[in-house]
Amino acid sequence: MSKQLDDVQAAQQNLQSQPAAAQPGTTPQGAPAQPPQVQAPPPDVLYNNGLRDYNAAKYDLAVQEFSDYMKFYNNTDLAGNAQFYLADIEYRQGDYQKAIQDYDKVIERYPEGNKAAASQLKKGYALLNTGQKDAGTRELRALIARYPRSLEAQQAKDRLRQLGATPTASKPSPGRRRD
């Protein structure tokens, strides 16, 4: 029994003399560990994956991919498109209020982008879908004025006609002057 006690005491002394193992979240010197750096996928891979998933109606995946694209690459040529697809997913899922906000981001941040007219059109549709007929009509008319030769302008005119509204804002008639 004395031999076993001597072995246990020797093991304890050996453990006490060894340097302490690093605790999780610290380096061996006791300094806090740096969080691992997240490496973003290349922009074309991230965007193309998002577009593929959007077209396949895998909206949860597409939202994540386009959100990551906006997080890492919001100043690229395709950033406006990525923002548009985020808004369009919300529109397709019936979240019109959120879609309106995100279409506004495209219109405001990327006014020269190739999705600006489509964003304004879909914003107008979303406003109409929420019962905001006057605001939706104004948005569609603003689109026609801003992008008169675009396909979206023609679509806006068609929708306004369906609503019984004129494609351009009517001006009040001059009326008769009374002196």
Query: Confidence band (pLDDT; 50, 70, 90) for 39?
Result: confident
Query: Once rounded to an integer, what is the mean pLDDT over residues 90-114?
Result: 97
pLDDT tens across 130-152, in order? 999 999 999 999 999 999 999 99
Q: Does residue 82 fall inside a structural domain?
A: yes
pLDDT > 90 fraction of the chain, expressed in percent and rounded: 69
Q: Does residue 53 fall inside a structural domain?
A: yes
State the residue range of the domain holding 131: 43-162
| 103-110 own/partner pairs: CB under 8 Å, 24+ apart | 106/80, 109/79, 109/80, 109/83, 110/79, 110/80, 110/83
Q: Is the pTM of this model over 0.75?
A: no
Q: Does residue 112 fall inside a structural domain?
A: yes
Structure tokens at 11: 């093991």
77: domain CATH number is 1.25.40.10
Q: Does residue 4 fall inside a structural domain?
A: no
Domains held by the chain: number? 1
